[in-house]
Structure 1
Amino acid sequence: MNIKTSYGHILKISLPIMIGSAAQNIIVLSDNIFLYHYDTVDFAAIGLIGAFYLIIIAIGYGFSRGGQILIARKYGERDHSAIGSYFQSLVAYELILALLLFLFIQYLSEPFFRSLINDPEILKLCLDYIQLRSYGLFFSFTGVSIIALYNAVTHTRFIVIDTAILTISNIVLNYVLIFGHWGFNPMGISGAAIASTLSEVIAFIAFIIYMFFDKVNRSFDLLSFKKLELKLFKNSFNISFPMVAQSFLGLGAYFVFFTWIENNSSADLKVSNLIRNVYLILSIPTWGFSTGINTLVSIFIGRQKRQAVLPITHKTNWLNLASTMLISVPVLVLPNIFLYPLYGGAEDDIISQSQGLLLLLIPILFMFGIGSIYLNGIIGTGHTRKALILQAIATGIYLVFEFFVLKVYNLNLYWAWSGEFIYWGAILLFSFVYLKSKKWHVKSF
């Protein structure tokens, strides 16, 4: 494929990735909406355990993005024979990770959460969800490996179809299992866990069937099993581990943030869960363009066109901001129109309680959009350790701020959510300065 730096080409590559990257966000949103209309305690619990589960998913996703960068580099170099080897090593990595995390959840999650959560009812619901949800890790982690492959070689069309399959199956199964339709008993948050896991299995099977008949991947020799080389594992680990650590830092800080809110007030937890849901869905363009810039930067470097990296990063940033603001501003300014069909109708009007915080999301999304694109520009160059250091500094600053806001001075949610400005502002500053310095021109792998 002829890769260009035009706005149209960036959008052509990033749009399917954007939709595909929404998969876990869609599952989280679907679980939250159905549980909001089922029971307020279940809704509060899914906000907390959902943040934790995203950390688990981010570990697998981080390794897959590392694999995506390596595969994209080989695709840029037109070394098709290496693509199959890197893909197989990525799948092996992901399955080992899935097994380790599955064992942790099954045997250690109860003492872990018991030390963090005060409310015994929320604790029980969180454990019910996470232990059932853990069975989907094997399908989810293998699935992100397949998506990484197709993202890396810019053949992203079926990702959109597979995401649609995931979404439809998750909505139907949530409706049936949470509320108890078609002969099933109402299962609440446990039903959400089963529905989400089954929908991931269905989407995984659909992608495997597609891969079997897809002619594009045959030149990559994916199904000819090779001896897994230590060098491939080492390369994958060196690129991927900092990205896993990045995800753990970012989402781990988010989990700490929600835990501190739960310790202060279950009512604040419920409001913050709504804000998080809206934040997640409106951040989909940024996640898509961020993953797209990983691929584009790596391909251009593979084709010895480092001079194209900054222009394509700038263009991706403008496309992302335009897309994000076009979607976000109407939703956040007029929540009673756009959010009421999803979160209206309950006795306590959570939308009215959240309106001020929803408006605060507009500048937060603006700052997040810019910071994420430039950070992922660094990641696409392969300098993932440098990106990890930058994010670690920003996370440390953020957690210190939130500690004083929530634990020392016990300030309101406006102050708590304002920490996003500090976090993404720091990331934007560090990332932009590093990209302009050209230190990333040094070969990383």
Structure 2
Amino acid sequence: MYSNKHILKISYPIFLSLLAQNIIQVIDTAFLGRVGEVELGASALAGIFYIAVFTLGFGYSMGSQILIGRRNGEKNYHQISDIVVQGLLVLIPAALLLIPVMGYVSDRWLPYMFESKEISAAVNEYLDWRFYGLVFAFTNTMFRAFYIGIAGTKILTYNAIVMALTNVLFDYLLIFGHFGFPEMGIAGAALASVISELVSTLFFIIFALRKVDLVKYGFTKIRIQLSVVKQVLSISVFMMAQYLLSVFVWLLFFVFIEKLG
């Protein structure tokens, strides 16, 4: 029997890692509050829009996490790499496709969603940089799925701390233009978030190369297996839809608030 202490030891890093995107958004909001009201409001709206897109990758990773946990419980460790690799082969191209698509959507459609032209312009300025982080954010969801699935969650705490500190540092440098960095305002907040997600990805990769038994989990053989993708999608597609819908409702709520002034 697992004790409550043992369960908490495994679960609290998971909870912290799930808040990673929200933590980034809170940090951006804290810094942009010193820039102006337009930037503050725009960052909140743009952040929700970004998270809505992010939930697509997150939902897929949840299906992968379920299968990884199952393989780990069955002690079929060598099959875990197939799930992780297929997830990366799906999510990274998906992110690369979403960057121009969502850039087009934000340029063409978002201006009609907002009453204020200043808010609309600031939202677009933020998202023009922020969407580049999807590649790293989607990659990070698969690393989280892997570590949670094998119950190696301690790394998630360290990663969340590194991610948050990186975001604070580059928000300070890029929003206000300190130490020779350009003063970018709301665009600097978006770029800082992208950099923090990149650092998070590098942290996960370095940890895996140094601490994870890659042979045990089958990472010596990398291959394309569409059957694994199909199996993951059969689990995750409904979660993807659920997460997207729940965040989209919040986005509509804040858009209505903005239109009311």
TM range (shorter): over 0.9
Alignment equivalent of 1:248, drawn from 231, 244, 247: 244
Alignment equivalent of 2:66, drawn from 47, 69, 81: 69
Partner of 2:260: 264
Query: Which structure has the larger Rg?
Result: 1
User: What is the TM-score with the length of structure 1 in the denominator?
Assistant: 0.57
CA distance in 1 between partners of 2:228 and 2:61 (Å): 14
Query: Are residue 104 (structure 1) and residue 101 (structure 2) matched?
Result: yes
Partner of 2:125: 128
CA distance in 1 between partners of 2:75 and 2:169 (Å): 42
For CA contacts below 8 A with separation 6 or more, give which structure has more relative contact order: 2
Given that residues 10 and 154 in structure 2 are in contact (C-alpha distance below 8 angstroms), is that contact kept between their aligned partners in structure 1?
no
Report % sequence identity: 34
After TM superposition, give the deviation of residue 233 of structure 1 in Å.
Answer: 1.2
1:38 partner SS: coil
User: What is the TM-score with the length of structure 2 in the denominator?
Assistant: 0.96
Tell me the alpha carbon deviations over residues 315-357 of structure 1, each in whole angstroms, 9 at most, x when there is no partner: xxxxxxxxxxxxxxxxxxxxxxxxxxxxxxxxxxxxxxxxxxx
1:42 partner SS: helix
**Cα 1:189–1:78, aligned 2, differ >3 Å: closer, same or farther?**
same
Given that residues 87 and 222 in structure 1 are in contact (C-alpha distance below 8 angstroms), is that contact kept between their aligned partners in structure 2?
no
Given that residues 105 and 131 in structure 1 are in contact (C-alpha distance below 8 angstroms), is that contact kept between their aligned partners in structure 2?
no
User: Aligned partner of 1:52: which letter?
Assistant: F
Equivalence map 1:31-430=2 (5 Å): 31-226=28-223, 228-265=224-261
After TM superposition, give the deviation of residue 223 of structure 1 in Å.
Answer: 4.1
Tell me the alpha carbon deviations over residues 118-141 of structure 1, each in whole angstroms, 9 at most, x when there is no partner: 110000100011111111111111
CA distance in 1 between partners of 2:131 and 2:84 (Å): 24
Structure 2, gaps ≥5 residues long: none
Tell me the alpha carbon deviations over residues 67-100 of structure 1, each in whole angstroms, 9 at most, x when there is no partner: 1011111111211121111111111121132122
Equivalence map 1:428-439=2 (5 Å): none
CA distance in 2 between partners of 1:46 and 1:138 (Å): 20
CA distance in 1 between partners of 2:78 and 2:43 (Å): 44
CA distance in 2 between partners of 1:30 and 1:223 (Å): 39
CA distance in 2 between partners of 1:196 and 1:223 (Å): 32
Tell me the alpha carbon deviations over residues 160-189 of structure 1, each in whole angstroms, 9 at most, x when there is no partner: 111111111100100111111112232111
User: Aligned partner of 2:167: which letter?
Assistant: N
User: Aligned partner of 2:248: which letter?
Assistant: G
1:219 partner SS: coil
CA distance in 1 between partners of 2:38 and 2:106 (Å): 20
1:218 partner SS: coil
Tell me the alpha carbon deviations over residues 242-262 of structure 1, each in whole angstroms, 9 at most, x when there is no partner: 111011110011101111111
After TM superposition, give the deviation of residue 215 of structure 1 in Å.
Answer: 3.5
Given that residues 28 and 50 in structure 1 are in contact (C-alpha distance below 8 angstroms), is that contact kept between their aligned partners in structure 2?
yes
Given that residues 214 and 220 in structure 2 are in contact (C-alpha distance below 8 angstroms), is that contact kept between their aligned partners in structure 1?
no
Given that residues 116 and 259 in structure 1 are in contact (C-alpha distance below 8 angstroms), is that contact kept between their aligned partners in structure 2?
yes
Tell me the alpha carbon deviations over residues 363-417 of structure 1, each in whole angstroms, 9 at most, x when there is no partner: xxxxxxxxxxxxxxxxxxxxxxxxxxxxxxxxxxxxxxxxxxxxxxxxxxxxxxx
2:179 partner SS: coil
After TM superposition, give the deviation of residue 41 of structure 1 in Å.
Answer: 1.0
Pairs aligned (count): 261
After TM superposition, give the deviation of residue 217 of structure 1 in Å.
Answer: 4.2
User: Over aligned residue pairs, what C-alpha RMSD do you find?
Assistant: 1.3
CA distance in 1 between partners of 2:12 and 2:182 (Å): 39
Partner of 1:18: 15
User: Aligned partner of 1:37: which letter?
Assistant: R
Partner of 1:330: none
Tell me the alpha carbon deviations over residues 12-35 of structure 1, each in whole angstroms, 9 at most, x when there is no partner: 110111222221111101000000
CA distance in 2 between partners of 1:223 and 1:132 (Å): 35
User: Aligned partner of 1:219: which letter?
Assistant: K
